[in-house]
Every structure is written in C-alpha cells, then in structure tokens.
Amino acid sequence: MRILPASAAISAVLALAACGLPVRTVAAQAPAPSTATVTASSTPTVTAPVPQTVVVPAPQTVYVQPKNPGVAATSQWYAQPSWYNAQPWISITNSGGQTPCQWLYARGYTYAQAYAAWAQNGYPASWSATGDGYPCQKSYGMQH
C-alpha cells in the first residue's frame, strides 16, 4: 500500500516545516529517505532568586479599657480614660437622701467632674436614672 508511506512522508514534511526547517519536495517522485538534524538549545539555566531577609517587627501590646455594660460609647473629652483617671478623687458622702449625682450637683461640680467620679467609682448603674449608660442626667441634663 502506498497510502501509509505517503502519509508518513507528509507528516514528516509538516513536522519539519513546523520546526522552521526548509523542506524540499520533489513532484511525482517516490519519497526519498531523508535525514533531519534538529539541534535543541542547551538546557536552560535556572537561577533561584537571591534569598532576602524579611524583618517582622515584634508585636506591640495595646491596652484597651474593658467595656462596661451600660456605658455608652462617646467621643466627649471628659469620657476619655486619660482625662478622668487624672482627676482628683471626689469623696461622696451621702446626706439627706441625695443621690451621688444630686450631691455632686449641689456642691457645684461640673458634669465632667461628675462623669469622672462615676468612672472612678466603677460606673455604677444606679447613677444612670434613665438606664442609657450616661450618669447624672436628671441632675445635669442631657450631656452627650
């Protein structure tokens, strides 16, 4: 059968052409055995990247004041721990059935000072008559 050698010859010609080698064909002749030399480039050199030193900074400790239930978040300057912790301690003495807020108000303390006293005393829920997490609103009015 001549079909098999002819298709093998055509496959060889196509393979050589695909590799970019010149192909010589002779019309109406039987295919002659051909030899092709394919030179492959040398094995590529693989170079690994130069190792780099990565410096990871040591973790930093961040202290966050624990959230107290009932304490509303606020951006007021007097509500900042750095401020109210620096305030002098106010010793509240109950007299005449007054609440601590009424006692502070009657003695001329500002709302900021009352807030500091509330924070320094551990944020007692009883100081917020409205239950919204802000102290002394009945004595000082809405301050937030």
Residue-wise pLDDT tens digits, 102-120:
999 988 998 888 888 988 8
User: By C-alpha distance, which of 116, 121, 120 is closest to 140?
Assistant: 116
Asked if residue 24 is part of any domain, the answer here is yes
DSSP state of 46: P
The pTM (predicted TM-score) of the whole model is 0.45
User: For 49-85, what is each residue's pLDDT tens digit?
Assistant: 888 888 888 877 766 555 554 444 455 667 777 777 7
Residue 29 in any domain: the answer is yes
How far is the C-alpha of 109 from the C-alpha of 24, rounded, in Å?
108
Residue 90 within any structural domain of the chain: yes
Give the domain extent around 82: 77-140
What are the tokens at 83?
């401020």
For the chain, how many structural domains are there in total? 2
Assess if residue 47 is contained within a domain: no
